[in-house]
């Protein structure tokens, strides 16, 4: 049996472009014990995948030139040589950018069938929202009346951060690029204010206008200049949760020219803390339960960008990295 | 009545030198209600005093050219127009660099007479040790088996940090400059290891040798390159307590060229937090009680540099800033 897959044909130096990938036909290997054959239904498109193209990714193994691109997704079991997995079961795990994938069941998470859209498992009930919930629960803990800023606010993590912080009673400000995203934040998701970083020449001044009493928490998904601007309006004893640094993903040489506020961290008693969600796997079930409650009560609305067809996965990833999407980006296979 | 005082005659641009101060004779003002006349016995010499010479100090009011230098000290009451203060009482507070000082009692702390040396109230039972104890209690919390690094380790705060962390069961490494200080740390104060930053060409490599399993906590009194070096050996989920930045006190223009590890804070899940002891005044009495226990049980040894004579206060401050002293620096008046 043959299946289509997307391989990397060239490593990016700087910005990633779709022409660095190419579709190929490959033979599907025979099933070994403990494996299942999945028909891939959804591919999750995530910022960490840019890092897999570097020599030494922070997360996961590097993807070599000529290899199939790595990626997580949801598939339906077509054949099984694992006792507890049956044909028709749904599984989430590392499937790669391919239409059919043979994977060991050890790394798979079972998807319980429910009336909710399957893509919820990648977004509003999946890693991005779990990241948001656990980041706020373990480090950020915004309280009623506090002012919370989140960057990449229209993204999968950011849109969840803002809504969860709202649900905890905080005043929430989002940074995003473009009027479509700003409208999403303010009109659909209930953010108290939103700032368009593309339209503002002085981001710090723009933040000061919408946060006249200063920020208590900044949930950072971007780094660099955006982090600088947030520091400039952070209250004494404010917290900064460092969750992502989209600003630098394309920076091949990793010259860290980032913010320079160490003296101010001391003088202003700030707490700056890194957060990596996989450190908190013991609490994933608790997080998911809380997220189901938030979704069912309407306090956490899903935001998605759905792209059709395996061959569009490279375009989907580049679009995500260039800020063209809102919410959780995923590819739906035919 | 006339008294001698030390005035500022020139503001430093860059390094402070003793010739920027000058002794003068001044009239002692008449006592008003609520004031006492103190004969100053000890002057506390502290790093924050360098900041008072800047235009906008982080702590305290700037000292103008021609004014008497500000400074805390301990004095004996010679005259009193405050009901609860009697001749012979001992008081700690802002007295300035003068032999006799008229001060409102509102800002004074009463010194309980005890068999302990009076200078303990400035060092091992005073602000520096309270800073060390509360910094470790509220942010650092080193536990048994953890590895703790402290910079400016032979200083008033650093020597207390190391000894208190040892008392909590941690393995303690100090950074200091010169063989005399290293010997103090290792042979007298019981540090597990010490690194001479003046002798090492590669501080990060030197730290790696003495902390083969990495650091769990870095108590930073210096900033800049020393902070960089500490980050390079900080374990995942490590903590950095930013308490001082001696490295930059003479940097008039405050160009913050500091460390650039924001990405690593995220990737390594570090917590970097500023600490200012005066935020924690509600716990000073508790801290002092704990410090008395530590001193009386021999687990916290006082380290002091005693300098004689009011006219040597400028030399004392410059010596402190240049790293010539160990422990708590104070001036004893004739």
Residue B26's Cβ-count burial label (10 Å; 0-12, 13-18, 19+) is middle
pLDDT by residue (tens digit) across B166-177?
999 999 999 999
Strands A21-27 and A90-94: unpaired
For residues B269 and B236, give the distance between their C-alpha atoms in angstroms, rounded to a whole number: 6
From the candidates A236, A255, A274, A280, which should be mutated to test the interface with B, based on the most B CB atoms within 10 A?
A274
Taking the mean position of all CA atoms in its chain, how far away is CA A16? 17
Measured between beta carbons, the chain A residues lying within 8 angstroms of B267 are 58, 274, 276
* Contact residues, B window 171-210, toward A, CB-based 8 Å cutoff: none
Q: Is A278 on the interface with B (CB under 8 A)?
A: no
For residue A311, which of A138, A69, A139 has the smallest C-alpha distance? A69
How many residues make up chain A in this entry?
334
> Does B276 sit within 8 Å of A274, measured CB to CB?
no
B281 touches chain A (CB under 8 A): no
Q: Do A269 and B273 touch (CB under 8 A)?
A: yes
Q: What sign has the CA pseudo-torsion B103, B105, B106, B110? A: positive
Partner B contacted by A258 (CB < 8 A): yes
B333: nearest Cα among B108, B9, B18, B71:
B71
Rounded to the nearest angstrom, the minimum Cα separation between A1 and chain B is 41
Task: Give which of A130, A140, A137, A172 is closest to A291, Cα–Cα.
Answer: A130
**Shortest CA gap A271–chain B (Å):** 4
| Cα(B136)–Cα(A266) distance, integer angstroms | 15
* DSSP reduced 3-state for B1: coil
Selected for mutation to probe chain B from A266, A275, A280 (highest B CB count within 10 Å) is A266
DSSP character for B188? I
**Cα A285–A288–A293 angle (5° rounding)?**
130
Residues of A with Cβ-Cβ distance to B244 under 8 angstroms: 266
Chain B contact present for A296, CB below 8 A: no
Confidence of residue B224 (pLDDT cuts 50, 70, 90): confident
pLDDT at residue A9 in the model? 97
ipTM over 0.85? The verdict is no
Which pTM was predicted?
0.87
d(CA A69, CA A4): 12
Please tell me the predicted confidence (pLDDT) of residue A252: 45
pLDDT tier at A255, thresholds 50, 70, 90: very low
Q: Shortest CA distance to A234 belongs to which of A272, A202, A279?
A: A272
Secondary structure element (H or E) that encloses residue A49, with its range: helix A48-51
CB contact under 8 A, A260 and B263: no
pLDDT at residue B228, as a whole number = 85
Asked if the C-beta of A256 comes within 8 angstroms of chain B's C-beta atoms, the answer is yes
Q: Return the SS3 of B144.
A: coil
pLDDT in tens, B151-205: 999 999 999 999 999 999 999 999 999 999 999 999 999 999 999 999 999 999 9
pLDDT digit string, tens, across residues B251-300:
444 444 444 567 778 878 889 999 999 999 999 999 999 999 999 999 99
Asked if the C-beta of A273 comes within 8 angstroms of chain B's C-beta atoms, the answer is yes
How many CA atoms are closer than 13 Å to the CA of B320, on its beta-carbon side? 27
| C-alpha distance across the termini of chain B, in Å | 18
Q: Is the Cβ of B162 closer than 8 Å to some Cβ of chain A?
A: no
Cβ of residue A58 closer than 8 Å to a chain B Cβ: yes
């Amino acid at each position: 049996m043959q299946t289509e897959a997307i391989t990397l044909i060239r490593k990016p130096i700087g910005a990633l472009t779709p022409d660095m990938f190419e579709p190929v036909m490959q033979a599907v290997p025979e099933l070994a014990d403990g494996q299942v054959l999945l028909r891939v239904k959804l591919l999750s498109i995530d910022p960490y995948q840019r890092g897999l193209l570097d020599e030494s990714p922070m997360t996961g193994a590097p993807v070599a030139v000529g290899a199939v691109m790595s990626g997580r997704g949801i598939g339906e079991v077509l054949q099984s040589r694992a006792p507890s997995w049956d044909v028709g079961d749904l599984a989430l795990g590392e499937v790669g950018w391919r239409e059919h994938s043979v994977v060991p069941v050890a790394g798979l998470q079972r998807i319980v069938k429910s009336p909710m859209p399957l893509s919820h498992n990648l977004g509003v009930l999946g890693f991005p929202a779990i990241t948001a919930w656990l980041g706020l629960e373990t480090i950020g803990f915004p309280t009623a009346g506090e002012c919370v800023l989140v960057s990449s606010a229209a993204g999968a993590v950011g849109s969840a951060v803002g809504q969860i912080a709202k649900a905890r009673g905080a005043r929430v400000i989002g940074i995003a690029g473009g009027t479509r995203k700003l409208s999403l934040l303010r009109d659909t998701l209930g953010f108290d204010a939103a700032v368009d970083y593309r339209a503002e020449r002085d981001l710090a001044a723009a933040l000061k206008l919408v946060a006249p009493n200063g920020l208590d928490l900044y949930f950072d998904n971007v780094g660099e200049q955006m982090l600088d601007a947030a520091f400039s309006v952070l209250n004494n004893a404010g917290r900064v949760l460092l969750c992502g640094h989209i600003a630098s993903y394309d920076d091949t040489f990793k010259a860290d020219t980032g913010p320079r506020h160490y003296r101010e961290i001391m003088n202003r008693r700030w707490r700056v803390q890194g957060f990596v969600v996989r450190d908190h796997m013991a609490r994933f079930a608790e997080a998911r339960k809380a997220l189901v409650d938030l979704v069912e009560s309407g306090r956490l609305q899903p935001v998605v960008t759905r792209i059709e067809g395996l061959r569009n996965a490279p375009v989907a990833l580049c679009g995500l990295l260039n800020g063209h999407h809102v919410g959780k980006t995923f590819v739906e296979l035919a």
